[in-house]
Amino acid sequence: MGLIGGMARTAVVAGTATAVSNRVSRRQSNRWAAQESYAEPPQQQQYQQQYQQQYQPPPAPPAPAPGTDDVIAQLEKLGDLRANGILTDAEFEQQKARLLA
């Protein structure tokens, strides 16, 4: 095989490699474009929204207002504890002073 035959063979191999490489690049590009344009089906979005709503943490209970109703209720409980003999008079007075302070 002469010089021209070797050059011709190299040209054929290089041309084939370029064609294959271009085809692979085009296929990959088409696949990526298809994946980017792929949107979640509406049903899938609906399931995700339902899941998020269902498993959302419950809202925090409202903080008790520092009002007289809360203090009165606690004083009544202390009175009941003293009446049942669970608290002594001294303990009752101590807890009452703490609540009213």
DSSP 32-90: HHHHHH----HHHHHHHHHHHHHTSPPPPPPPPP-SHHHHHHHHHHHHHHHHTTSS-HH
Average pLDDT of the chain? 78
Q: Give phi and psi for 48, each to the nearest 5.
A: -65, -40
Report the alpha-carbon distance of residue 18 to residue 22 in Å, rounded: 6
pLDDT (tens digit, 9 = 90+) per residue, 10-55?
A: 888 888 888 888 888 889 988 888 776 665 556 677 777 777 776 6
Tens of pLDDT along 47-89?
A: 777 777 766 666 666 655 556 678 888 888 889 988 988 888 8
